Amino acid sequence: MKLLYLLMFLVTFSILQGCIGPGISDFEIKLSGGYSVLRTEPNRVIISLQEADDIFGSPVVGTKVVQVGWNEDYIVAKQVGLKLDPNATNEHMMILDDSRTNFYILDLNNKKKYGPLHETSYAEQRKKLKVPNDVILRNLDELR
């Protein structure tokens, strides 16, 4: 009987553990100026400004951020859109839509956001703002 109670407790605990707090694959990458990359679901990866302890504002760059680079003056980001997965059994499963790629530049000194930009416009805006060459886009997995 004790074994049955222990088994019920362990099953209940493991189910509840997935419902409380951040998931095991969720993460935060701190950037400059109080901004962070936040992953709260597999396809919900955003850049947001931290307003207080564990409180973030609305996304400055929405889902799905796939690359980011920064220094004390600029944050650059690559965002890829999402589309329904035609092969999924769940009608809400999303996959990356490479035809919807955007780039963003956050000018931290002037508090300005440039984007969404196409790749050519992004390169031109980088030159215009004189974003240093060492601020390069890197995959998020490299930064965690």
Q: What is the pLDDT of residues 59-110, one digit of tens each?
A: 999 989 999 999 999 999 999 998 888 888 877 788 888 889 999 999 999 9
Write down the pLDDT at residue 2: 56
pLDDT greater at residue 24 or residue 16: 24
Q: DSSP H helical segments within the chain, as ranges?
A: 2-17, 119-129, 140-143
Q: What angle do CA 116, 112, 64 make, to 5 degrees?
A: 35
Q: What is the pLDDT of residues 17-64, one digit of tens each?
A: 444 445 667 899 999 999 999 999 888 999 999 888 877 889 999 989
At residue 117, what is the residue type?
Answer: L
Distances (CA, A) of 83 to 58, 59, 78, 88, 101: 22, 19, 17, 12, 12
Write down the pLDDT at residue 101: 96
Q: How many CB atoms lie within 10 A of CB 70?
A: 24
pTM (two decimals):
0.79
Q: Alpha-carbon distance 92 to 5, whole Å?
A: 37
Write down the pLDDT at residue 16: 46
Q: What angle do CA 135, 116, 47 make, to 5 degrees?
A: 60
Write down the pLDDT at residue 66: 96
2-15 burial code (b ≥16 CB/10 A, e <16): eeeeeeeeeeeeee
Write down the pLDDT at residue 115: 96
